[in-house]
Chains A and B, each alone.
Chain A
Amino acid sequence: MNNIAYTEISKSVRILCVNTDKFKTNCIKVDFYLPIGEYFPAQNVLASYMGHTSKKYSTVKAFNSKVEGMYDACFDTTVSTVGEKVRIRFSMEILDDKFSIDGNSISQEAVDFLVEILSNPNATENGFDEELTTREIRFTLENIEAMKNDKRAYAVSRLRQLMCKDEPYGIDNEKLEEGVRNLDGKQLLDAYKDMLKTATVVITACGSVDSEMLKDKFEAFAEKIENRNPAELETVFVTKADEIRYFKEEMDVNQAKLVIGLRAGMKDSNDDYFAYRVMTDIFGGGPYSRLFLNVREKMSLCYYCGARLIREKGIILIQSGIEEENYEKALSEILNQLDIMKKGEFTDEDFNSSIIALCDAFKGVEDSPVAVCNFYSSQEFDEKIISGEEFAKKIGAVTREQVIECAKRVSVDTVYLLKGEENND
């Protein structure tokens, strides 16, 4: 069992440090959680901007040289949504101090770098640099647009938007792009100030990073922020779909992409989570799952057909790539398999395969520094933070009956098909 230090250094600023000497890499993640709101477009640009320039390292070359000089530290900034929370993440993977050629502490240098770029962005009191803002707006727009290159991801984002149209979760990419396009340096500065003032901040580290050093440096960082007033972070859970909605859209694709959105029936992210996890896995997890064995192996309709639970929003997504002419056949078999789950007609073997595979996977979750950080930081809003071993135990305690009860609460909300264009020439 790893040695875990957990501290709240000030209001809604928390540090979780997993100390272990088994790795050659250390990992540090600084996450800012905010509600999805008016600053969302600016937050997207902000993360990109702060990942390429700062007051001290203003050019791309200077910024990247600093990062590269720390023995190829992997530094990244990302914006994503976790349920209906926005997460702006600054993450670093660095070589462990014991491999430093000149004897300097790489982890201390990395923490100093993180604090430096978070505290001193490339801005004046009037706003972020306009020229660089224009560049970062371009990167952000191209990044949003690039989702269309990945047809599977694009189909999922369309389903999400259509299914959760009236919820903050249903992000409309066109509106997001419009918002991004109209930004200026002043608005970026406002978004930056808002992030510092209202975000819940979670710092997660894994490896041999000195937890006292980490605490001291981030304490000093947090103390400088005036009038901290963390925003409430809530996600709406819709527990039932009234009726199934069907959508078909056309794009220049070779293979049709089918995405089905289900309401799991969860009231919040902790509601019967472990039983839902097992249920989704039996239904569409590994190669032992109902969807893999039937839609792929028995019917040869696809290469991939799987389901995953989005715990933070209480929805289940099913994805498959099929020939358009097989749409009815695939859809009806997928729904048939869901029905089998609800009626409890899956076999004991299905159930046992899933439990043993999930337990096995969670027991191994602490074998990479990045996985450790992701695993623990994903539990930040749970009732209690537990280890991979304890996680596996909870999975192992799920019963067949609980799985059936969960399946009964699932309802189909939206069926989406992205298909090739008619008159395809």
Chain B
Amino acid sequence: MTNIKEIKNDLLKDSYYEIDHSSGFKIFVYPKENFSSSYAVFGTKYGSIDTCFKVEGNEKFTEVPEGIAHFLEHKLFESEELDAFARYAKTGASANAYTSFDKTCYLFSCTGNFEDSLEILLDFVSNPYFTEQTVQKEQGIIGQEIRMYEDEPGWESLFVLLRAMYHEHPVRIDIAGTVESISHITADLLYECYNTFYNPANMALAVAGNVTVEQVLKIADKMLKPKESKKIERKFCKEPATVVEKTAMKNLSVAMPIFAIGFKEDVKTPLRTLKESMESNILLDIIAGPTSSLYEEMLNDNLINTTFDTEYFEGYGYSAHIFNGESTDYEKVRERINQEITKLMETGVDEESFQRIKKKHYGSLIMDFDSIDSISNSLISAYFNGEGIFDQLKLLESITVEDVNRRLKEAFNIENSSMSVIKNKEGK
């Protein structure tokens, strides 16, 4: 039995359909009037942090090599006959996939032949095919992908920071693993991960754009077969509140030192609520956003340049507020940010700044609904977090300055912060 529920938003004048498909899969369809293209994402709640897990009923936890979720993503495109890219080449769709800390998503966008392309997507993700030879071939390609990231200072700066903040949590490992770790991946291990994480209870399909529910169901009915849903247990590792080190350096050739300062939150439960993440984002804008006094002062004092930005970084078992930028005097930047946070903890956030930032977030939330890729990807992430994509708009109204002040006190502890610095080798 397939159940369809329409979810509307009066402000946006948009609606989408949440479908419990007879196969056990969750499907979302978000039609966009007058759009020519469609965008589909088929995702599983399985990312780089899932290195230790067990299926309910099993006794022992299984540990797998770092980078295996990403490796699996690459390998799923292959099949015994035509690989997925060769099949998409006949429909004209533009296809891709990505692996993050907590999910793996396969996607395509197209204007024509939507149904054929959706069939390809559902087919190749549902039918794994790995051999030792194809696994070996991929080790060369992914090895070069890892090497490419090693030359990207912004990326390196995030991971140096994560390793400085986290003792145990697997968020500290690189999404693609290392050249060494992926050398231990075998076809059997790939099948084991696939069979654990690629099942209806752990996956969802989201489509937005020039599509109808009927079109999507026609293909879903044909391609998605009922499959045993598995309950997966993730190891929620004991992560101390403290950081590993206050400052971590790495040498790479850069024009100017690149820093990332992270405030680690001592999380008692695996996930933050949606409201808490929204409060965090508002807070970051208040502390050091483009209209904050701190931002202007640091610009005028030659401490930062216009690359400076902030990010709220969170997922299963981790949460941190991060400040990124370029500076020759990064220690001074850290000092200024710490001072500002201490000051705000004492005085509280002022109502005027709060209202201005809230209005900004109202605008950016709505603008996100113009992009069918953003809508589809958000439908998947929101679902994996137990939320709906209209929830933020409703919640924003209810957030008060007291909420933000509370969040500041619970999430920031200067003692539990780290800084990563990427800079040139001495003498360069």
Compute how far the CA of A303 lies from the CA of B258 in the bound complex, rounded to whole angstroms: 26
Within B354-391, the residues touching A (CB, 8 Å) are 356-357, 359-364, 366-367, 369-372
Q: Is A139 an interface residue (CB 8 A)?
A: yes
Q: Is A84 an interface residue (CB 8 A)?
A: no
Interface size on A, residues (CB 8 A): 70
The answer on a CB contact under 8 Å between B209 and A367 is: yes
Nearest opposing residue in chain B for A146, CB measure:
B255
B360 contact set on A, CB distance < 8 A: 68, 71-72
Of A18-26, A192-200, A211-219, the stretch lying at the interface with chain B is A18-26
Q: Decide: A321 near B148, CB < 8 A? Known: A24-B370, A357-B89.
A: yes
Q: Shortest beta-carbon distance, B406 to chain A, in Å? A: 24
Nearest opposing residue in chain B for A48, CB measure:
B306
B300 contact set on A, CB distance < 8 A: 60, 135
Q: Is B408 an interface residue (CB 8 A)?
A: no
Of B22-30, B48-56, B134-142, B236-244, the stretch lying at the interface with chain A is B134-142
Nearest opposing residue in chain A for B176, CB measure:
A303
The answer on a CB contact under 8 Å between B305 and A300 is: no
Q: Shortest beta-carbon distance, A209 to chain B, in Å? A: 15
B47 contact set on A, CB distance < 8 A: none
Compute how far the CA of A25 lies from the CA of B356 in the bound complex, rounded to whole angstroms: 20
Q: Is B145 an interface residue (CB 8 A)?
A: yes
Q: Is B5 an interface residue (CB 8 A)?
A: no
The answer on a CB contact under 8 Å between B94 and A360 is: yes
B425 contact set on A, CB distance < 8 A: 252
Q: Decide: A64 near B255, CB < 8 A? Known: A71-B363, A255-B148, A360-B92.
A: no
The answer on a CB contact under 8 Å between B306 and A139 is: yes
A151 contact set on B, CB distance < 8 A: 151-152, 253
Compute how far the CA of A287 lies from the CA of B112 in the bound complex, rounded to whole angstroms: 18
Q: Shortest beta-carbon distance, A83 to chain B, in Å? A: 27
Compute how far the CA of A71 lies from the CA of B11 in the bound complex, rounded to whole angstroms: 15
The answer on a CB contact under 8 Å between A149 and B255 is: yes
Report which of A64, A138, A288, A357 forms a contact with B305, defined as CB distance below 8 A.
A138
Compute how far the CA of A139 lies from the CA of B326 in the bound complex, rounded to whole angstroms: 11
Mark B13-52 against chain A: 1 for CB-CB distance below 8 A, else 0.
0000000000000000000111111000000000000000
Q: Is A6 an interface residue (CB 8 A)?
A: no
Mark A144-172 against chain B: 1 for CB-CB distance below 8 A, else 0.
01111111100000000000000000000
Mark B121-158 against chain A: 1 for CB-CB distance below 8 A, else 0.
00000000000000001101110110110111110000
The answer on a CB contact under 8 Å between B367 and A72 is: yes
Q: Decide: A286 near B94, CB < 8 A? Known: A71-B360, A364-B109.
A: yes
The answer on a CB contact under 8 Å between A363 and B89 is: no
Compute how far the CA of A184 lies from the CA of B235 in the bound complex, rounded to whole angstroms: 60
Q: Shortest beta-carbon distance, B193 to chain A, in Å? A: 22
The answer on a CB contact under 8 Å between A303 and B142 is: yes
B299 contact set on A, CB distance < 8 A: 60, 135
Q: Shortest beta-carbon distance, B207 to chain A, in Å? A: 14
Q: Shortest beta-carbon distance, B127 to chain A, in Å? A: 19
Within B208-236, the residues touching A (CB, 8 Å) are 209
Q: Shortest beta-carbon distance, B21 to chain A, in Å? A: 27
Q: Is A99 an interface residue (CB 8 A)?
A: yes
Nearest opposing residue in chain A for B112, CB measure:
A360
Compute how far the CA of A302 lies from the CA of B93 in the bound complex, rounded to whole angstroms: 24
Q: Is B405 an interface residue (CB 8 A)?
A: no
The answer on a CB contact under 8 Å between A357 and B94 is: yes
Nearest opposing residue in chain B for A302, CB measure:
B144
Q: Is B91 an interface residue (CB 8 A)?
A: yes
Q: Is B110 an interface residue (CB 8 A)?
A: yes
Q: Is B85 an interface residue (CB 8 A)?
A: yes
Q: Shortest beta-carbon distance, A406 to chain B, in Å? A: 21
Nearest opposing residue in chain B for A147, CB measure:
B255
Of B180-188, B265-273, B287-295, B336-344, the stretch lying at the interface with chain A is B287-295
Q: Is A95 an interface residue (CB 8 A)?
A: yes
Nearest opposing residue in chain A for B153, CB measure:
A149
Within B145-182, the residues touching A (CB, 8 Å) are 145, 147-148, 150-154
The answer on a CB contact under 8 Å between B36 and A252 is: no
Chain A residues close to B by CB (< 8 Å): 20, 22-25, 48, 52, 59-61, 64-65, 67-73, 93, 95, 99, 101, 135, 138-139, 142-143, 145-152, 251-255, 257, 286-288, 296-297, 300-304, 321-323, 349, 352-353, 356-357, 359-361, 363-364, 366-369, 388
Q: A23-B370, A60-B295, A99-B366 are in contact. List 4 more A-B contacts (CB 8 A).
A: A61-B292, A147-B255, A148-B255, A363-B36
A-B contact pairs, 6 of them (CB 8 A): A69-B356, A73-B363, A146-B307, A287-B95, A321-B148, A366-B36
Chain B residues close to A by CB (< 8 Å): 11-12, 32-37, 85-86, 88-95, 109-113, 137-138, 140-142, 144-145, 147-148, 150-154, 209, 251-256, 258, 290-293, 295-296, 299-300, 302, 305-307, 326, 356-357, 359-364, 366-367, 369-372, 424-425, 428
